[in-house]
Amino acid sequence: MTSRTETATPRRVLVYSHSWLPRQVDGVAVRMMAHVDCMVKRGVKVTLVTPDFQVGGEVYPDDSNEVKPFKPIPGVEHIQVFTQRTPVYRKNKCMQMSFANLKTFVDVIRRTRPDVVHGTQEASFQVLACACSLCDVPFVISMHTDVAQIAARDQGFSAFGGQIGRIHAWLSVRFVHWGYRNWALAGGTYFPVSQQSQTILKNAGVSEKRVAPVVWGPMVDGEQFRIDLPEKDVASTRQRLTFGLPNAYLMVYVGRITAEKDIQFLVDSMVRAPKNVVLALIGPGSMCDELCKLHGAESRIFCEGKFVGREEVALCLRAADCHVSASTMETVGFTAMESISCGTPMLAANAQGFALYLSHGVNSRLFTPGDKHSFDAELAVMMSTKWDRKVLRDSMDSASIEACTDRAFNAYLYTGGINFRWFRTLTAFAYFALNSFISRAMQ
């Protein structure tokens, strides 16, 4: 991986992440964990806040009664706040919209005195925006998720069905965009994760003045996701994922196994795929109960529906012949970068982050989203191409964690004092009170 460029380093940073392994599994958790770890290694004093992910005794991702310990980062104080299910889209969890959480943030900010607060976009971010405005501390909002795409792709986004459900989803997205503008009004500076994030903010009506001219871009841990993983472990992983089938061509999907990720498109493709192709679905999600029934050599589908650690994810991607995803809502496409860093090419939908950050014919094959004929054709080319693992890995140089941390520090420089502070603070409190009322009504 390439060496980093020197940039201004903050002394103290308060990080809020709405996801953290293993209790809420997504690309946001992976990115923020890597970023926090890198900041600590550079000597930054980092204080971490996350939800506790417990609502009525449930703990995501499998809602069992077992409380899974957070993955710690040495030297980081980890504070937990109360949790609620995300309004409308109740598959995920977020921090609770409450005065108790507001008080926690205010107390932590006053005690740790951060140079900047970095929070991830989420449904209850108004709590953190209000705390930062009250304490007069600059804050950055990293923009990770395309809520409009989730609403459009996931038929279960709204609890209501039919036309009422579509209207409900449309109204929900409008409220989300309103929230983005409110956070900017409170003094927040947006840090786009991708060019798609910039488009989302523009469509939401957020002023360009409130968006840092820095894109975080793809990120991958090149030390963990590499070509030279232990051969014995890679072979054992491949044997398990392919059920020991001879001459198997292994396609691996890693991530949340949910409808908005277009998992069914991949499953349906197995009916048409060559008989030596095996599809391994790695990760938890709402579709696992049904898809686990297909698990077995006869269907050539591997699906256990379990959360797996980062070490095992790396082995799965290294053992694969290709990494595959039909998702059309990725702002970056984290696992694509991890796969390519392992020297494994990507077969992906030509949309959003995949279209922006993958190179067709260089480290990937991109198919027309939702088009089974295009998918089949690109899979055939993928299978017949001799990919050079080193060339694939080298294409991820700019995605190193060090380079991404430099870009984050540059984004932090675009924050500053809040003009018309008391007006912004009063407005933030008004929106916080309104959001609290709405959030309680939706629970």
Q: Where are the domains of the chain?
A: 12-219+401-442, 231-397
The CATH number for 231-397, chosen from 3.40.190.10, 3.40.430.10, 3.90.10.10, 3.40.50.2000, is: 3.40.50.2000
**pLDDT tens-digit readout, 11-48:** 999 999 999 988 887 889 989 999 999 999 999 999 99
Please, what is the average pLDDT of the chain? 90
**pLDDT tens-digit readout, 172-191:** 899 899 999 999 998 999 99
Alpha carbons 390 and 9: distance in angstroms, whole number: 32
CATH 3.40.50.2000 fits 12-219+401-442, yes or no: yes
Whole-angstrom CA distances from 442 to 142, 304, 381 are: 25, 33, 48
Residue 314's pLDDT is: 97
Count Cβ atoms below 10 Å from residue 21 Cβ, excluding itself: 18
Stronger pLDDT, 382 or 170, i.e. the higher one: 382
Stronger pLDDT, 191 or 220, i.e. the higher one: 191
- Of 58-67, 204-213, 292-301, 333-342, the range with the lowest mean pLDDT is 58-67
- pLDDT surpasses 90 at 169: no
pLDDT band, residue 1 (cuts 50/70/90): very low
Residue 59's pLDDT is: 58
- pLDDT surpasses 50 at 2: no
- pLDDT surpasses 90 at 161: no
Q: Pinpoint the alpha helices (H) of 71-207.
A: 99-112, 126-135, 147-153, 162-185, 195-203
**SS3 of 155, please?**
coil
pLDDT band, residue 124 (cuts 50/70/90): very high
Residue 56's pLDDT is: 73
pLDDT band, residue 330 (cuts 50/70/90): confident
Across residues 125-154, what is the average pLDDT? Answer: 90
Amino acid letter, 355: A
**pLDDT tens-digit readout, 426-437:** 888 788 777 776
Contacts of 267 (CB under 8 A, 6+ apart): 279, 291, 294, 301
Across residues 345-361, what is the average pLDDT? Answer: 92
Stronger pLDDT, 258 or 439, i.e. the higher one: 258
Q: Is 345 exposed, middle or buried (0-12, 13-18, 19+ CB in 10 A)?
A: buried
- Of 27-36, 67-76, 122-131, 319-328, the range with the lowest mean pLDDT is 67-76
